[in-house]
Amino acid sequence: MVLEGPFSGKPPKMTIRRVAEDPGEVVPTHPSWSAMILLLAPMEGLLDATLRDVLTRTGGIDRCVSEFIRVTNTVLPERAFLRVVPELLNGSRTRSGVPVRPQLLGSDPACLADNAARLAGMRPHGIDLNFGCPAKTVNQSRGGAVLLDEPELVGRIVAAVRRAVPVHVPVSAKMRLGYNDDHRAEECAFAIAEAGANELVVHARTKAHGYRPPAYWERIAQVRESLPPHLRIPMIANGDIWTVEDALRCQNVTGCHALMMGRGMVTNPGLALSIKGQGFVPWEMMPGLLLAFWQQVGLRVDKRHRAGRLKQWLNYLRRYYPQAQQAFDDLRLTNDADTVQHWFDRNVCVLPKIQAEQADRTPLVAEAFPA
C-alpha cells in the first residue's frame, strides 16, 4: 500500500519548529526546562548505536549511555568495546556531537577494573557501571540488579574501577531500587557514592517490578536525601518519563536536576526537545529519520534480523504518531529485508537529500562507525 501524505511526494525539510505539540501554539522557554540535563538510556536489543545516532539528531539529549558490555574473566580486546560503542572512533560522540558513555557489567571487581583501564585508553566520555539490568540470564550470571543484594560488593566494584582509571575520567553507576524489594536502596547508593562514583542514575523500580507502572519517584528522593552532605553526588532519575508533564513532575518529586529517558524517547523522538521547551518532532520528519535508521541497520545488522529491528521501532512510534500505524501494518507480516527496502523505495523519497546532507557534515556510518 502506498502511503498518502508525508511519505509521498517531495522530501520533507529536516527542520524542527519551535512550537508546542499543538502546531499553533508558540512555546516559551521555561527556565526549569532549558536547564534540565537529559540523558538517553540504553535499551538492550533496540536503543543501540544505530538508534542513538538517529535520536540524537533531533536535539535535546545531553548525553547517552551505551548498552552494557559484559565482562567475565578476561580483558576484552578493543574491538569488543567498539562493537557496542562505535562512537569511540568519533571522540566518544554521536555524529550529532552528543557524548556517549560506555557501560560495563560484571561482578568481579579486579576484572572490571582491568577492563575499565583498557577502555579508558580509548578516551571514552566516562565509564558507567550496570547494577540495574533485570534480565534473568544476566542476573543468573551475577550481573546487573542481582548485585543490589550485596551492597558491599557493589562498593568494591565502584572503588576498583575508580582507582583503575585516570581521575579526569568520570565513573558513574546505574542501579534500581533493589532486587526483590527496596530495603537496601539507601545502602547501595551510599556504597556507590562512598566508593568514589561521580554520579548515580536510579531507576525507580526494583528488579521484581520489571517495567510495570508506576515508577516510585518518591523513593529516589528518599535515597537522595539519605546520603550525607559530603557524599551527595549528582543523582539522575529514571523511569516512566513519557511526556513533558512526566518530566516536570519527576523533577519536582525527586529533586533531581537530571533525568534519563529510554522508552519515552523511542516512542516520541522529540520528547527531549519538548521538555526543554524548544519544539517537537512533527511526523513530517519521521520518514527521513526512519530511512536513516534503516540504512544503518543495513550496515550493522544481519539481513535476517533487519526487518524485525524496523518493526520494533515502528511498534513504539505508533503509540505517539497515529500515522505510524499504517507503516507498521504494511510491514507487520514481513521478515524479508528486500521487501522492506522495496517499501521504502515506494513510500519514502528522501534518500538523495539525506545523503547530500550527510556528505556536507560527516562521513556516512560505514566509514565513521564500521559494523
107: its cell numbers: 561482578
How confident is the model at residue 46, as a pLDDT? 87
How confident is the model at residue 325, as a pLDDT? 96
101-118: per-residue pLDDT in tens? Answer: 999 999 999 999 999 999
How confident is the model at residue 32, as a pLDDT? 52
Sorted by where each begins, the domain ranges of the chain are 5-12+283-368, 35-275
The confidence band for 365, taking pLDDT boundaries of 50, 70 and 90, is very low
Higher-confidence position of 264 and 361: 264
3-class DSSP state for residue 320? Answer: coil
Using CA atoms in the order 90, 96, 99, 101, what is the torsion angle rounded to 10 degrees? -70
Residues with Cβ within 8 Å of residue 71, at least 6 apart in sequence: 104, 105, 106, 108, 111, 112, 115
What b/e sequence results for 33-49 when a residue is b if at least 16 CB atoms lie within 10 Å of its CB, and e otherwise? beebebbbbbbeebbbb
287-316: per-residue pLDDT in tens? Answer: 999 999 999 999 999 999 999 999 999 999
- Distance CA(171)–CA(201), nearest Å, equals 12
Q: How many helices (H) and strands (E) does the chain have?
A: 17, 8
Catalytic residue among 64, 133, 250, 349: 133
Residue keyed to cell 519538548: 274
Phi, psi of 266 (to 5 degrees): -65, -35
Nearest to 183 by CA among 149, 208, 213, 210: 149
The reply to whether 5-12+283-368 and 35-275 are identical in fold is no
How confident is the model at residue 115, as a pLDDT? 98
Mean pLDDT of 270-299: 95
Other C-beta atoms within 10 Å of 28: how many?
9
112: its cell numbers: 572490571
How confident is the model at residue 7, as a pLDDT? 42
- Distance CA(192)–CA(263), nearest Å, equals 26
How confident is the model at residue 347, as a pLDDT? 87
65: its cell numbers: 549511555
Mean pLDDT of 341-361: 61
Evaluate if residue 350 carries a pLDDT over 80.
no
- Distance CA(256)–CA(269), nearest Å, equals 22
- Write out the H or E segment, with its range, that includes residue 224: helix 217-226
Evaluate if residue 277 carries a pLDDT over 50.
yes
207-228: per-residue pLDDT in tens? Answer: 999 999 999 999 999 999 999 9
Nearest to 207 by CA among 148, 252, 259: 148
Cα-Cα end-to-end distance for the chain: 32
Active site residue 133: yes
The confidence band for 44, taking pLDDT boundaries of 50, 70 and 90, is confident
1-24: per-residue pLDDT in tens? Answer: 233 333 433 333 333 333 333 333
132-164: per-residue pLDDT in tens? Answer: 999 999 999 999 999 999 999 999 999 999 999
Paired with 201 in beta bridges are 174, 236
Q: What is the CATH number of domain 35-275?
A: 3.20.20.70
193: its cell numbers: 557514592
The top-level CATH class assigned to 5-12+283-368 is mainly alpha
Evaluate if residue 322 carries a pLDDT over 80.
yes
Evaluate if residue 34 carries a pLDDT over 80.
no
